[in-house]
Structure 1
Amino acid sequence: MNSAALLVDGFGRIEEAVNQAVEGLSEEQLAARLDPDANTIAWLVWHLTRVQDDHLADAFDSAQVWTADGWRDRFGLPFPAEATGYGFHSDQVAAVRAPADLLLGYFDAVHTRTRRHIASVTDEDLDRVVDTRWTPHVTLGVRLVSVIADCHQHAGQAAFVRGVLERTHR
């Protein structure tokens, strides 16, 4: 297996987890909170998608799907275009409401762009510095692994919330 195939597999598993967490849920279920300050499935999926979109656009010097393809307008959220959900407080989390088809549509668009970016990544590409704001500087390989880990963590949280909702609403 080469680097590109490994990355395609890692990001593909995020796609599976996101679809399993979201498909078939109503907008109300996607916005449900397990306690007054808990993250919702809608926020978790929007956030992980925004982070993936933001970080890969930066790493590959491309436009974000969020703004370039009109997803920001479709969602109509009350946040600046550059917001990814990082550091959001409870009221901002609650403001992320969207139906499943919108969440999955945006995720699918970002996932498609991600696959295009990573399809030809080589071992040498992984050593390219993509962020000099950190010490040590962040390489493409480190950034991609970081995004995969972050997205899996949030997709797992969304799956957990879905499981709790399904058990409590039988």
Structure 2
Amino acid sequence: MGGHGDGYSSTLKTSFDTAAGPAVRHGPQADPDEPPLRAPAVAALEALVVLAAADRIAVELEVPATRDRDWPAPWPLPWGWFRVRGGGDVGVSGGGADGETAAEEAARVADAAHSEVVESLWAHRPTNWPPCPDHPTTHPLQLAAGDDADPRPLWTCPLTGEVVGVLDVS
């Protein structure tokens, strides 16, 4: 497992405050149009926020979602927003495919958020975040679903499929 600052860790301790960040630039809270995330998915997103911050990548999880005052959204309002400062954002909500387990939901939303981070890095720094320990110059780790016993997403090497660690900060 990696340590503090290398993009994945099983020992980093933190507290998380969803009220922090640039939400003041947005309109009033609105009831989300999409279902909420289950606890394992929220924990996975919180872990990504913490790990990105450890690597000096500015991200935030805005819960509940708000609508931008100058741009009324024509699409359903998600349960929350995962934002990358200087990059983009992705709406995160529960209610994936019928029968989606908590582990699959956690992996789905964490993968979408991780993809947003990787896409935002291309203009500023290498996009292999977090770097695969076996192939650090070629690709980032990717996320796969855990299981019912431990629904936390797993960091895996996309080349070999080997599990490198668990997406967690506790």
Q: Same fold (TM over 0.5)?
A: no
Could you tell me the TM-score, scaled by structure 2's length? Answer: 0.28
Q: Which has the higher strand share?
A: 2
